Structure 1
Amino acid sequence: MPLAIVLDVSLSMSRVVSTPEEEEEYQRKHLAIHGINVLLDHLNTHSKLEFVSLVVFSSMYEILSSFTRDYDAVRAKLQNIEDRDKTYLEAALHGVSILINDEWGQNTPCHVLLITDGSSSLNILGLSRTLLNGQRGSTRPEEALPFLPFNFPAKFHVIAITSPDDPSLAVSMPVYQKIIDLSGAEGSVFVPEGGLSLKSVQNMFTKIAELHYSSFEGTLRSGSLSDSILLYPPPRVSDAENMEVIHCKISKDITICGFVDLIDVASPPAVSRHLVLPVHSANKSDASLVELKAEGEGEDDLLATPEEGKNPSFCVLLHGALKVENMGAICNVGEKWYGLLYSWADSKKKSNLMLSIFEPGTKCIPWLGDLSLLGSFSEATSPGSFTTFPIKPNEKRSYAQSCVVWVQPGNLQADIQKILRHARKMPDKTQHFYKELNRLKRAALSMGFADLLETMAVILDRECTLLPHTAHPDCAMQLTHASAQLRLSRDVRHNITALRTKFTPDD
């Protein structure tokens, strides 16, 4: 989940913090920077593939670093932060909304960390009157915070660099919580425990990192072969069934049950997809693994040093075999829960080992049946016979007829273009023109898409005016007739027939 760090750089962040336990004096800004570095160190160790951005704000916002995986670049920006004027939370919300919408759009979940000092500034007091007290004549919440709720899925946390017993925090805390509620995102307010110090801030950021950016490490097994793996992003799966949300947990041991051709699996529904990365220890040695040199293993290089690249890896062996044979490995990821390992390529040169996790249950792929009952192919077939999935039933279903599908805009566009191609070739293609036109008409009326008939009539009128001088005279007459019939006929059982002209051949 991409992380947006929003740091307060107002003058109040320059207040000095002195504690009896520490000899040096620190500004609150320095404590915040130290905590961000702790978070970046955790990501560099456990979640190297996460994108991080840095936004600073006071009365205005500035994007110091867009989303990047170069954590050293973000650290360098932190060292050159300058103090600015007053705190203005609206600027922070504006900046992070603009950044995330430009980079990721409105469908990618993002993590927002707002770091401030928790002081009861004029901005906080004004938001308190507007959001909490609701004084008469004051600005409404949606006008005071026009960028809330977020138009993208997010987790929003506020980190207050202040002592828990600070009187200002009692005024600021309800405002922060109200802003989180208005954002429409999951979140909470974090305050250092046991007073404000370098160690307490470090412990708080470590807690946040372990809570939201903990990596998933497990073991991939197949018979006597095994390898330590890391899944990115970490699997977090919840299943809604019978109006009840069930949280499922992935097992640490992922066991391969068997192999199947990818053409038989086709494109099954998956609740999540993860990149499988091998995790090699320095002293690991397994004589059962076969050393394999693979070119372009993609993101695997992010977790491997040159020395580790020389060690045998079962993940590399499995990925190479699945890629060459064009097969997938059905694996058990939990109790009565399955997934599919396969090779996926984002370009011609790089490919990666991926894991698609299916819905919980043993019948997650309908055309394969119960996955717990699958066996070897040789046991299911007699000598000389050959069967592929999906197995077609002997009886003919009543719904096994061709139908019009307009799930994507391109499907509808293709049907309209097909009608226009036949229209330009009349009278030779007159029968085909009316066949496709009636097919479009029936589908539109069946789906309640009656406006399409008027639009199609306008398209036919325009096509009639654009006919070249070499076009057959019957072409213009048929287009005019079809356009008029589309506007008149609203009966799904009525078919539009061709206009009888002197150019129409006798039956």
Structure 2
Amino acid sequence: MPTVLLLDVSLSMIRPVQISENVEISRKYLAIQGINTFLDCLSVHSRLEFIALVAFSSLHEERCPFTRDYNALKLELQKLEDYDKTSIESALQGVNQMVLGEWGNNSACQIVLITDGNSGVGPMSLSESFSTLNHRNASNPFPLPFSFPAKLHVVCIAPPDDPNLMKSKPLYQRLVDMAGYNGSLSVPDGGLNEVSVVTMFQKLAEEMYTSFRGTLKCGNLESRIILSPAPIPYIKVTDFDSQTYVLSELIEVCGYIPISDVGSPMAISRHLILPTSNLGKENVPLNMEIDLTEDDATEEGKIPSFCVLLHGALKVENMSALVTVGDNWFGFIYSWADSKKKSNLMLTVLTPGSDVVPWLGDLNHLDSTDNLPPDQIGSFPVRPSEKRSYSQNGVVWIRQSGLQSDIQKILRHARKLPEKTQQFYKELNRLRKAAISLGFLDLLNGLAYIFEQECTQLPGSAHPDCALQLTHAADVLRKTQNKDIKFVILPLHTNYNSS
């Protein structure tokens, strides 16, 4: 998921740190070294992540937009200048606007706030922001929680016993809690030096970007894969309890369905499937020493991969693979192209359960057409056995024209009585039921008046049953005892329609 590096460049970040008797470095230098380590870890293990760099003091500045060019980020870090005092609230507001403009409010994001443990002083301090939290209006809201799903990780470049950090730590923890989604607060272990800061950023990268490694299997064929981004547990909340679902490491193909039949079902997440040949290295920690040499890449290209075979087959046949990702939990694997020349193998994870795609029916009941006689082969969409409550079009009166259209439709049927008797009463009961449901009882009286006026304006060539049915409908609409929503207006039995 996208990540924003929010770096404090206030004057307090240039305070010296005594490394040895004659060597001093600034906290800003340590922060930059830690960020470089963080980017190096991502370049090895999560090359597809978008990273942005924002510098802040009393104001904020977007120094590098979201990019996968980590070298450009490192170059921009060397160009940072020092500014005035710290204002964390202003920085978080800037991040909120930047992410909304780039990704919208549905994409999850990670925010890494790197500071020296000083929460600021005066009106722009974090403590002052919290003190005015209950006195804000809609024009000046506090930026947390963010307008999008986000984890906030606060990284303090300060020793654990720093007085400013001890004072500010509860404030930072409150920020993390307000952001939600289980963020973190990181402090270097031991003294403040380059080794402890680098180790802290390595641990942070490992926590944030732990890759999901599993096995894609179909019969006797299987392939080791990585899912990017890593799936997170899904929590299904019901009226009285909640249940947590965790994606299985074994993703098994059940069968194949044309993409046109699958359509676009509701999904909880989508992931890029990447083949991997690092057998026996699934739990290798993130560190700087792991890298792929040219020989490794060449050898990997010579190894047959079921993942590559499946991708090619699905792309050529325009099919998708139905897979199990857990106990009674399904997903679809398909080829997705973001350009004319490049395509990727994608996994769409459905909501847990077997009846989550209505037009496919119960996924546990799907079978190969080779195992069924021709007369038992069905087609999609699967029709439900029971009649749905929404099988008929609902009445929608958002605009005046919608109501006028429904009334005019009834009058058109009325002028063609007795041939349109059934259609007339069907539309009349439909409108009457909607009016009673909405409490729009004046509509019934108005419709009765319209029917009476229509009777007086009928041409001489009109059928006698027309006036009788309109008068009958007007009388029934006015009766108070017939205002029950379950009551149905029936046609008047006359000598003209008795046959």
Partner of 1:229: 225
SS in 1 for 2:234: strand
Counting only pairs closer than 5 Å after superposition, residues 427-438 of structure 1 correspond to structure 2 as: none
Amino acid at match of 1:174: P
CA deviation after TM superposition for structure 1 residue 314, in Å: 2.2
SS in 2 for 1:271: strand
Counting only pairs closer than 5 Å after superposition, residues 107-146 of structure 1 correspond to structure 2 as: 107-119=106-118, 121-123=120-122, 126-128=125-127, 131=130, 142=136, 146=142
Partner of 2:272: 275
Change (3 A) 1:247 1:103: same
What is the CA–CA distance in structure 2 between the aligned matches of 1:23 and 1:102, rounded to whole Å? Answer: 47
Partner of 2:164: 168
* Superposed CA offset, 1:255-314 (max 9, x none): 2122233444444433222121223569xxxxxxxxxxxxxxxxxxxxx96885565432
Partner of 1:83: 82
**1:17·1:28 contact (CA, 8 Å) conserved in 2?**
yes
SS in 2 for 1:196: coil
SS in 2 for 1:83: coil
SS in 1 for 2:313: helix
CA deviation after TM superposition for structure 1 residue 493, in Å: 8.9
Change (3 A) 1:389 1:164: same
SS in 1 for 2:173: helix
Partner of 1:353: 345
- Which of 202, 216, 220 is the equivalent residue of 2:216? 220
SS in 2 for 1:404: coil
Partner of 1:489: 443
Counting only pairs closer than 5 Å after superposition, residues 41-52 of structure 1 correspond to structure 2 as: 41-52=40-51
Change (3 A) 1:108 1:446: farther
What is the CA–CA distance in structure 1 between the aligned matches of 2:299 and 2:449, rounded to whole Å? Answer: 73
Instruction: State yes or no: 1:56 paired with 2:35.
Output: no
Counting only pairs closer than 5 Å after superposition, residues 92-107 of structure 1 correspond to structure 2 as: 92-107=91-106
Name which of structure 1's ranges 84-93 and 333-342 shifts more when overlaid on structure 2. Answer: 333-342
Partner of 1:187: 183
Partner of 1:386: 377
Partner of 2:318: 326
Counting only pairs closer than 5 Å after superposition, residues 269-308 of structure 1 correspond to structure 2 as: 269-280=266-277
Change (3 A) 1:44 1:494: farther
Unaligned runs of 5+ in 1: 283-303, 451-486
CA deviation after TM superposition for structure 1 residue 115, in Å: 0.9
**1:3·1:50 contact (CA, 8 Å) conserved in 2?**
yes
Partner of 1:292: none
Amino acid at match of 1:329: A
CA deviation after TM superposition for structure 1 residue 396, in Å: 6.9
Change (3 A) 1:266 1:16: same
What is the CA–CA distance in structure 1 between the aligned matches of 2:225 and 2:8, rounded to whole Å? Answer: 38
What is the CA–CA distance in structure 1 between the aligned matches of 2:101 and 2:439, rounded to whole Å? Answer: 34
Instruction: State yes or no: 1:377 paired with 2:369.
Output: yes
SS in 1 for 2:346: strand
**2:89·2:129 contact (CA, 8 Å) conserved in 1?**
no
Aligned-residue CA RMSD (Å): 4.3
**2:395·2:431 contact (CA, 8 Å) conserved in 1?**
no
What is the CA–CA distance in structure 2 between the aligned matches of 1:74 and 1:417, rounded to whole Å? Answer: 59
Name which of structure 1's ranges 493-502 and 173-182 shifts more when overlaid on structure 2. Answer: 493-502
**2:253·2:323 contact (CA, 8 Å) conserved in 1?**
yes
**2:322·2:330 contact (CA, 8 Å) conserved in 1?**
yes
What is the CA–CA distance in structure 2 between the aligned matches of 1:436 and 1:412, rounded to whole Å? Answer: 22
Higher Rg of the two aligned structures: 2
Superposition TM-score, scaled by structure 1 size: 0.72
Change (3 A) 1:149 1:363: closer
- Counting matched residue pairs gives 434
CA deviation after TM superposition for structure 1 residue 219, in Å: 1.9
Superposition TM-score, scaled by structure 2 size: 0.73
What is the CA–CA distance in structure 1 between the aligned matches of 2:272 and 2:449, rounded to whole Å? Answer: 53
